[in-house]
Amino acid sequence: MRIEEDCIGKLAVEDQALYGIHSLRAVHNFPISTERLHPLIIMSLVQIKQAAATVNQAAGTLSTTKAHAIKAACDELLQGQYADSFIVPAIQGGAGTSANMNVNEVVANLANRLTADADVQPNDDVNQSQSTNDTFPTAGKMALLQQLPGLLSALRDLLQVLGEQGEAYANTIKVGRTQLQDAVPTTYGRSFHAYQHLFKRDLDRVQAAGEHLQTVNLGGTAIGTGVNATPYYQQHVIPTLNDQTGLDLKVATDLIDATQNCDLLVEFSGALKTLAVDLSKFSNDLRLLASGPQAGLAELHLPAQQAGSSIMPGKVNPVIPEVVNQVCFEVIGHDTTVTMAAEAGQLELNAFEPIMFRDLLASEHELQQAVQTLIQNCLRHLTVKQDQCADEVDQSAITATVLTPYLGYMATTKLIKRALSQHQSVRRLLVAEHRLPTELVTKLFAPTNLTQPRQPQKQQA
């Protein structure tokens, strides 16, 4: 064991451990769960350390030997080596200081192993020109940006499959429903296209909110004033980081504002929450339309994925929409956490970014996975029972709505009541009673007329 010392006191650390006293204190202090800091945040912090070493060397504030040692250590870490050295919990006090120091300690100790006589120090060298308060939020945004393309791609795939279903069932008429009661007819083509437009707005919202995450406060150090950072560092660290990562990060116009306020995270969380709300509503519709198969609506057939009961033979449940619902419930809860954490920040810093980034990364990833399983295991193989839908329209008394321009609202209401009481379709009742010409009845109850705006009827003089 080796003995390390900080402002609190001394602590024994295993000899071969790359982490140090700050990391170990975090493990002792935050035994909230077994979940560790997200790997993308760790790798983003490592990338920041590498960029900072490059810029500090060019600024003349870090020796070439130390800079090369730091960059060599970062290269190995970015290849996935020594991942077990990052031990700090995902949920932690200190505004991310434990996360930043875990990376500082690992980079410094590894640099000293790789380069003899480098004498790299975690705070003085690896953390030079930086603070947790600008590195941790920048790393968190970088992590979200690196995950974002997967979610956007999944949403584009969702739009495509909904468009395909819309074309496949363009002329499949169905009973519309409002407040779970029969309403005027529509088509499944229109229904699928309506969902497609809904998720196109979600795609646009998430993409726009994601672009705002490119604005970071790196270079602001402790509270945004840039104390202990050189002007050269402030001017070059983000371009250097962009060259390394391919991310299009931008320095915030006001670094003090960007250090203390988390509205961009709330905005992004809100876009994810809206997507979750829409996905859950869509999943509810799928489960309802596929309910049965004998005592429910049973208009849709969802592909069977697994046995649905340990006691009822042959039962199959809508497990894919169900799991999507549950993901959405969690994302909505995460948004509440992000909202409260952002609101709870005080003065020059928000101390609660660890939980914000933890929940945002989880939401982003889980939504991607939920959309993908919804597409692959449900929507691509979903079918509509077209004959059943046509029969339901024919038997629906609400189709008589098309008669109101000819018979009036009250007369049509009485006709509907009679049709329901006699268990007849309105169309057949009209023909039997010769209330309107047969040709007109046939035209009025044609699927195209039932689902389109009516042509104006000229009034008699």
Q: Is the peptide bond prior to 293 cis by the omega test (within 30 degrees of 0)?
A: yes
Q: Which helix (H) or strand (E) holds 139?
A: helix 132-168
**d(Cα 23, Cα 14) in Å, to the nearest integer?**
12
Helix (H, G, I), strand (E, B) or coil at 229: coil
Q: 245 is written with which tokens?
A: 């990562």
Residue with tokens 């991942």: 83
**d(Cα 248, Cα 121) in Å, to the nearest integer?**
30
Annotated catalytic residue 421: no
β-strands 181-187, 215-216 pairing: unpaired
In terms of Cα–Cα distance, which of 228, 265, 223, 217 is closest to 48?
217
Q: 417 is written with which tokens?
A: 């009541």
- ∠ CA 286-191-171, nearest 5°, is 115
Distances (CA, A) of 354 to 61, 90, 97, 440: 30, 7, 10, 68
β-strands 10-13, 2-5 pairing: antiparallel
3-state secondary structure 55-75: HHHHHCCCCHHHHHHHHHHHH
Q: Choosing from 309, 310, 363, 396, which is the catalytic residue?
A: 309
Contact between residue 103 and residue 86 where contact means Cβ atoms under 8 Å apart: yes
Contact between residue 41 and residue 29 where contact means Cβ atoms under 8 Å apart: no
**d(Cα 175, Cα 182) in Å, to the nearest integer?**
7
In terms of Cα–Cα distance, which of 272, 253, 157, 161 is closest to 207?
272
Rounded to whole angstroms, the maximal C-alpha distance in the chain is 105
**d(Cα 246, Cα 422) in Å, to the nearest integer?**
71
Contact between residue 304 and residue 290 where contact means Cβ atoms under 8 Å apart: no
In terms of Cα–Cα distance, which of 343, 196, 166 is closest to 263?
343
The catalytic residues are 309
